[in-house]
């Protein structure tokens, strides 16, 4: 058997970071940020009453500085919590919001602030150029339009759209078929609740293909459990109802995130063979091979987690707490099956637990399932390497994805530039505002109708049920389609 190099990893101890491999060195370089930079940013954010919301996938330099700030209105999370955090910051006295992420994240924050009566509070990106997203762009393609048209012609259809899409996509979708947004944190509960609440509902999920396949795999696994186990997960379901759901669950088959795309068969095989003793995490967006490894470990001995970035972080913290509670020293290994930017939040969380239990002897190793080729040469850097191949995507067919090229358009220098400019009379920051959609969709602005699916999700999060307005919309369109189908010579809606 051919010998292969181990994946790079970062060992976290009570008082040190020990990177193994060039890629891990590049991640670890910024875990202890320069104090002067932190002090300047902290002072400016407080003085100008600025709130900052950032995604877990920001680069480690930016996350390292943000994590070290004492300003209370700095928040790093997954996309679900970002817009809610921005609203809370404004209600807490912030007069400006900066969003560090791709463009749909700043659009979502803008829409939610407007919906909350805070339209006068400016929202800023930190790049003058558009910050795209391969997954969001796949939902703008004609193929997704055709998928939605099919949904609009299907009685009892509900569109569950991943929040990682533009407001334009959400608006055009909602105009065709009743739509609710979801995130990787709540998609399972959203689909299960919809199937229980709306009799005969046909669920069209998109645009993320891997997430769709993984959801199908999850529900198939769920249907094999006994009814008591299923009801512990969702009290309104049993094996028969989950099998019925599977017959009415559809997903788009042409939507991919470049970050997760490369966590495929070769990576999964090496994890199985070389990391048999490790805990394995897999984001819902990764290909089925890696997702299956995480599910196998989870089912076998609670040694895996398949879910959102927040789920992954919570799983790691839980395992560290449990090891500390045993009173025994030891090393825990976690394979990180998502974007490497998660490492800053993981390190901060793990260090809090280790420092709170000084002398425990517990160590945590985070393994990055990425090949050496996913590091490019950078002679000007102190380490002379940077995450990412020369093309900038940080992916290789041999190893996997390292970092999101779009998220990395947010930099520390860019953030400082916008923060310094806020409030300066001679600075025009309009080019840093989220995109404004002026076109009309079904007689309403794209921002207005596109915000509705997000508000439906927020109501669902609050109530634990689909909001009545959304259920009524599904039922009304169902009645219209079935009545038109019963009338000979009439074309069906959407044709």
CB neighbour burial string for 238-253, b if at least 16 within 10 angstroms, e if fewer? beebbeebeebbbbbe
What mean pLDDT value characterizes the chain?
85
> Shortest CA distance to 407 belongs to which of 454, 340, 348?
340
pLDDT attached to residue 467: 97
Is residue 390 scored above 60 in pLDDT? no
Q: Residues 137, 199: contact at Cβ < 8 Å?
A: no
Residues 39 and 57 in one domain: yes
Question: Using one digit for the tens of pLDDT, what is the confidence trace for 416-436?
Answer: 999 999 988 667 898 999 987
Question: Using one digit for the tens of pLDDT, what is the confidence trace for 42-56?
Answer: 999 999 999 999 988
Distances (CA, A) of 148 to 418, 446, 478, 482: 38, 17, 15, 18
Residues 42 and 80 in one domain: yes
Percent of the chain with pLDDT over 70: 86
**Structural domains of the chain, count:** 3
Q: Residues 67, 348: contact at Cβ < 8 Å?
A: yes
Question: Using one digit for the tens of pLDDT, what is the confidence trace for 219-249?
Answer: 998 999 999 999 998 999 999 999 999 999 9
pLDDT-derived band at 358 (thresholds 50, 70, 90) equals very high
> In the structure encoding, which two tokens stand for residue 172, read together?
């055009």
Is residue 20 scored above 60 in pLDDT? yes
Question: Using one digit for the tens of pLDDT, what is the confidence trace for 287-303?
Answer: 667 888 998 898 888 99
Q: Indicate whether 4 belongs to any domain.
A: no
pLDDT attached to residue 258: 55
Is residue 377 scored above 80 in pLDDT? no
Of 261-270, 361-370, 394-403, the least confident:
394-403
d(CA 390, CA 399): 15
Q: Which residue has the higher pLDDT, 347 or 402?
A: 347
pLDDT attached to residue 269: 86
pLDDT attached to residue 426: 63
Q: Which residue has the higher pLDDT, 3 or 294?
A: 294
Residues 143 and 224 in one domain: yes
Over range 121-138, report the average pLDDT: 85
Say how many C-beta atoms besides its own lie within 10 A of residue 377's C-beta. 10
- The CATH number that applies at residue 50 is 3.40.50.10800
Q: Which residue has the higher pLDDT, 214 or 75?
A: 75
pLDDT-derived band at 487 (thresholds 50, 70, 90) equals low
Residues 226 and 251 in one domain: yes
Instruction: Return phi, psi of residue 368, to 5°.
Output: -95, 110
DSSP H or E stretch at residue 377:
strand 375-377
> In the structure encoding, which two tokens stand for residue 237, read together?
């379901």
Say how many C-beta atoms besides its own lie within 10 A of residue 331's C-beta. 14
Residues 148 and 48 in one domain: no
Residues 339 and 357 in one domain: yes
Is residue 352 scored above 60 in pLDDT? yes
Is residue 104 scored above 90 in pLDDT? no
CB neighbour burial string for 406-431, b if at least 16 within 10 angstroms, e if fewer? bbbbbbbebbbebbeebeeeeeebee
Is residue 349 scored above 60 in pLDDT? yes
Residues 141 and 193 in one domain: yes
Of 21-25, 86-90, 386-390, 434-438, the least confident:
386-390
Of 71-75, 384-388, 410-414, the least confident:
384-388
pLDDT attached to residue 291: 82
pLDDT attached to residue 486: 65
Instruction: Name the range with the highest mean pLDDT among 27-31, 112-116, 131-135, 355-359.
Output: 355-359
> Shortest CA distance to 12 belongs to which of 375, 342, 346?
346
Last residue of a domain, one of 363, 384, 404: 404
Q: Indicate whether 491 belongs to any domain.
A: no
Is residue 1 scored above 70 in pLDDT? no
Residues 252 and 266 in one domain: no
Q: Indicate whether 355 belongs to any domain.
A: yes
Distances (CA, A) of 462 to 234, 454, 457, 458, 459: 17, 12, 9, 6, 5
Q: Indicate whether 118 belongs to any domain.
A: yes
Of 27-31, 207-211, 319-323, 380-384, the least confident:
380-384
**Domain assignment of residue 122, given as a range:** 35-131+411-432
pLDDT attached to residue 389: 35
Over range 19-48, report the average pLDDT: 86
Is residue 376 scored above 90 in pLDDT? no
Q: Which residues, 6 or more positions from 165, have their beta carbon under 8 angstroms from its beta carbon? A: 104, 135, 136, 139, 181, 207
Residues 89 and 181 in one domain: no
d(CA 153, CA 337): 37
Q: Indicate whether 464 belongs to any domain.
A: yes
Residues 236 and 181 in one domain: yes
Residues 224 and 308 in one domain: no
Q: Indicate whether 453 belongs to any domain.
A: yes
Residues 291 and 248 in one domain: no
Q: Indicate whether 100 belongs to any domain.
A: yes
DSSP H or E stretch at residue 75:
strand 74-77
pLDDT attached to residue 477: 92
Q: Indicate whether 495 belongs to any domain.
A: no
pLDDT attached to residue 257: 62
């Amino acid at each position: 058997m051919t010998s292969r190099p181990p994946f790079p990893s970062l060992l976290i101890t009570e008082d040190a970071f020990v990177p193994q491999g060039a890629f891990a060195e590049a991640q670890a370089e910024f875990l202890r940020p320069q104090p002067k930079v932190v002090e300047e940013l902290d002072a400016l954010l407080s003085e100008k009453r600025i709130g900052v919301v950032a995604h877990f996938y920001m680069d480690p330099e930016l996350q390292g500085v943000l994590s070290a700030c004492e300003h209370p209105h700095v928040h790093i999370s997954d996309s679900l919590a970002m817009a809610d955090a921005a609203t809370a910051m404004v209600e807490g006295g912030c007069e400006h919001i900066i969003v560090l992420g791709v463009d749909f994240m700043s659009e979502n924050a803008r829409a939610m602030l407007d919906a909350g009566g805070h339209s006068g509070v400016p929202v800023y990106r930190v790049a003058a150029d558009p910050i795209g997203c391969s997954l969001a762009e796949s939902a703008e393609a004609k193929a997704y339009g055709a998928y939605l048209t099919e949904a609009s012609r299907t009685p009892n259809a509900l569109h569950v759209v991943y929040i990682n899409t533009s407001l334009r996509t959400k608006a055009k979708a909602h105009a065709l078929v009743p739509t609710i947004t979801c995130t990787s944190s709540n998609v399972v509960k959203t689909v299960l609740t919809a199937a229980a609440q709306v009799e005969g509902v046909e669920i069209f999920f998109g645009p993320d293909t891997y997430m769709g396949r993984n959801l199908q795999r999850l529900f198939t696994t769920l249907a094999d459990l006994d009814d008591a186990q299923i009801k512990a997960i969702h009290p309104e379901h049993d094996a028969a109802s989950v099998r019925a759901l599977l017959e009415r669950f559809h997903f788009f088959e042409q939507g991919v995130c470049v970050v997760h795309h490369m966590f495929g068969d070769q990576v999964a095989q090496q994890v199985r063979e070389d990391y048999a003793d490790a805990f394995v995490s897999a984001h819902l967006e990764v290909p089925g091979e890696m997702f299956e490894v995480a599910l196998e470990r989870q089912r076998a001995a609670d040694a895996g987690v398949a879910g959102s970035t927040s789920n992954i972080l919570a799983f790691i913290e839980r395992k560290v707490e449990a090891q500390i509670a045993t009173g025994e020293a030891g090393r825990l290994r976690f394979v990180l099956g998502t974007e490497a930017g998660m490492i800053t939040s993981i390190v901060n969380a793990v260090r809090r637990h280790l420092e709170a239990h000084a002398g425990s002897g517990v160590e945590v190793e985070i393994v990055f399932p990425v090949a050496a080729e996913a590091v490019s040469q950078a002679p000007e850097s102190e380490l002379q390497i940077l995450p990412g191949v020369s093309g900038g995507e940080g992916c290789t067919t041999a190893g996997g994805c390292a970092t999101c090229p779009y998220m990395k358009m947010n930099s520390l220098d860019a953030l400082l530039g916008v923060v310094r400019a806020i409030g300066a009379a001679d600075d025009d920051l309009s080019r840093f505002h989220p995109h404004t959609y002026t076109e009309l969709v079904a007689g309403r602005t794209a921002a207005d109708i596109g915000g509705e699916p997000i508000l439906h999700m927020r109501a669902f999060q609050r109530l634990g049920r689909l909001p009545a307005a959304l259920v009524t919309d599904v039922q009304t369109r169902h009645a219209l389609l079935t009545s038109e189908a019963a009338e000979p010579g009439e074309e069906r809606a959407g044709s």
